[in-house]
Amino acid sequence: MNSENFDYIIIGGGSAGAVLAHRLTASGEHNVCLLEAGPEDKTPMIKIPGAFSYFMFSKKYNWNYDAKVDPNIRHGEPMFVPRGKTLGGSSATNAMLYVRGQKEDYDHWESLGNEGWSFDHMLPYFKQAETNERGGDDFHGDSGPLYVSDRPNLYPISDVFIKGAQEAGYPLNNDFNGATQEGVGYYQCTIKDGQRCGVSLGYLTPARARPNLTVLTEALVSRVVTQNQQATAVEFSHQGQQKRFSINKEVLLCGGSINSPQVLLLSGIGDKDELSAHNIDCVKHLPGVGKNLREHVDACILVNSKKRDGFTSSIGGILGMIPDTFNYLLNKKGKLANSILEAGGFLKTQPDLATPDVQLHMVPLLFDDNGRDLKLMRDHGYSCHVCVLRPESTGSVTLASNNPSDHPVIDFNFFADAKDQKVLVDGLKLVRKIMATPAFEEHRGEEFYPGSDVVSDQALFEKAKGRLGTVYHPVGTCKMGHDELAVVDSQLKVHGIGRLRVIDASIMPTLVSGNTNAPTIAIAEKAADMILNQA
C-alpha cells in the first residue's frame, strides 16, 4: 500500500476543507494533505454564475444523491439531493447567495453548552472571511478571501416582488447580514468580476502555490484508521490504487453533512448496532453519528406571467440568451454574470415572533425539481419558494452498505414535527398575500401551482408536498454538543477519539436561519484558529 506522512490530512476540499487548507499552510510550519473525491474544478461552467442549473445535470461534479422515498412527498418520486463533488465542494455549484443567518442562531448554540460559539464569537470569523465590496464596517470585512458583491437586478419581477412585499406591509432591508435580518431585499452574492467566488478561488488558489500543501483529487476516502482510540491514518483509493497516508497531528474530516457521517461510520465510529449490521467493527459507540439531519424544507408558488419577461427554457428563451452569452464572454456582465436568485427575504409568519421564521427565494421562472423540470420551465412565469428557517423535524444519514462507493441512505423525515407544517403553510399564505398586491398586477397570470382553488391550510399543505424541495442546506449529522447524540465537542473533536475533528456543516447542532455556505466557512475559520492555537 502506497503511504506518506503529513501533519494534517483534510478529507474533502469543500467550503470548510478549503478554508483549512489555506489557513493551516499559511505559516509554512505544517505539512498538509487535502484529499478530494471529486475532480479538479477545471470546467469554465463553475466560474459562470448563471450556469447554476448545469450542475443539476452533471454526473462529474455532483454526488447526485436521492433521498429515501416518502410516498407522501413529490408523489413518491425520489427527492434529489445535489452536493458539489470537486475542489470547492458545494461552494463550486451553489447559488452563491451570501447569508449568515441570525445572531440568535449562534447564541442558541452557545446556550446548548457550546462555549465560544455565540454570535459575538463568530462575527470576527465572518468578517475575516469576507471582502464586501461595500467596504468594511461593524458587520462586514474588507480584506478576506471571499468576495461579496451587490448584483444588478436584471429581471423585472425581482423589483416587483420587493415593491409588492412592501405594499403588503413588510420592511425593506438592504443588508440581510447587518444589524437585523428581517425584511425583503436583494441578495448579495459571492461573485467577483462576474465570476463565482467559491472557496476554490478565494482560499485554495493562493494555498496551492505553497510547497507544504499536497492536493490529491479523485481520492475517495474509505476510512479513518484508529489505534487505541486515536486517529493515525487515512485510507483512500486514488488512480486505481489503495493508499494509506498517516498523520503526525490530526485528521480533519470535512466531507459535508452527507459524507462526513458516512466516513465516520465506515471507520467504526457510530451506533454499534448499525455498524454490526454492516459488519464493521465498532471502534467507538457514538449513536449520534448521522442523526439530527436538518434541512430547510421548501415549497413553492408558481404563477404564469402576463409580461413574459422572465427566463424560459423554450427555443425563444434560449435564443434570447445569445446577447447575454456574448455580453458575458466579452465583458463578464449580463444575466450569465449573476445568480438567477436576485431577490428574497426573511419574514415572520406571526407578528409576535422574535425573529423571521421563513425565507423567500424569488425566481424569475417556473422553477421546480431543482431546475430539472425543463418542460415546466418552457412557459413564462415566476416562482416564489418559501422555506422553514428553523425546522424541528430531524432525519438521518445511515449506511446502505460498507462499500464507500455506495450512496448512504438520506432520510429527511420531513414534518415529523407538526410545527414545520404550520410554518410552511403560513409561509405560503404570506407569499400569496405579497403576490396579490397591486405591484404584481401587470405580471400576474393564473396561479399555476398550488392553484387558486386550493385554499384551506390542509389542502395547501397536501398540494405543496407534491412539489416539495430543499434549499440544499443539510446540517447537523455530526452535531456539536454534550448530549447523547453529540458527535463532536465545542473544539470539534470527535468524542472519545483523539486526533480527529469534524469541521463542516454537519457540526451545526441546529440549522442557521439562512443559507449555509458563509456559516460553514466561518466555522472552518474558527476551527483553523483553534487548531493553530491547539485548543
**Residues engaged in binding ligand FAD (CB under 6 A):** 11-17, 35-38, 82-85, 89-91, 93-97, 99, 219-221, 254-257, 259, 263, 472-473, 504-505, 515-518, 520
Q: How far apart are CA 310 and CA 314, in angstroms?
A: 12
Torsion of CA 480, 486, 491, 493, to 10 degrees: -130
Q: Which of 270, 450 has the CB closer to ligand FAD?
A: 270
In the complex, minimum distance from the CB of residue 200 to ligand FAD, in angstroms, rounded to a whole number: 10
Query: Least distance to ligand FAD from the beta carbon of 484, Å?
Result: 24
- Residue number, 158 or 259, with CB nearest to ligand FAD: 259
Residue 439 beta carbon to ligand FAD: minimum distance, rounded to whole angstroms: 25
**Helix, strand, coil percentages, rounded to 5, for the chain:** 30, 25, 45
Beta bridge partners of 84: 62
Q: Which residues contact 456 (CB under 8 A, 6 or more apart)?
A: none
CA-to-CA dists, residue 421 to 11, 101, 333, 361, 460, angstroms:
36, 21, 41, 19, 10
Tally: H helices and E strands in the chain = 14, 24
Cβ-based nearer residue to ligand FAD, 404 or 481: 404
Nearest approach, Cβ of 49 to ligand FAD (angstroms)?
10
Residue 119 or 448 with smaller CB distance to ligand FAD: 119
Task: Specify whether the CB–CB gap between 518 and 270 falls below 8 A.
Answer: no
Number of neighbours of residue 372 by Cβ within 10 angstroms:
15
Nearest-angstrom CA–CA distance, 153 and 136:
23
**Cell numbers linked to 41:** 474544478
Q: Measured from the CB of residue 61, what is the shortest distance to ligand FAD in angstroms?
A: 9
Cβ 460 to ligand FAD shortest distance, Å:
26
As given in the structure block, the three cell numbers for residue 148 are 461579496
List C-alpha distances in Å: 455 to 73, 350, 438, 462: 19, 19, 21, 11
Measured from the CB atom, is 243 or 473 closer to ligand FAD?
Answer: 473
Eight-class DSSP state of 85: -
Only one residue has cell 382553488, namely 453
* C-alpha to C-alpha distances, 281 to 141, 251, 266, 288, 486, nearest whole angstrom: 47, 20, 9, 17, 21
The DSSP secondary-structure symbol of 42 reads: -
Instruction: Supply the residues annotated as catalytic.
Output: 473
In the complex with ligand FAD, the residue whose CB is nearer, 443 or 479, is: 479
Residue pointed to by grid coordinates 462576474: 194
Residue number, 85 or 501, with CB nearest to ligand FAD: 85
| Nearest residue (beta carbon) to ligand FAD | 14
Supply the minimum distance, in Å, between the C-beta of residue 257 and ligand FAD.
6
C-alpha closest to that of 469 among 300, 292, 256: 300
- By beta-carbon proximity to ligand FAD, the closer residue of 85 and 385 is 85
Smallest gap from residue 351 Cβ to ligand FAD (A): 28
For 29, 166, 202, 303, the CA distances from 385, given in Å and listed in that order, are 47, 18, 29, 12
List the grid coordinates of 22.
Answer: 489555506
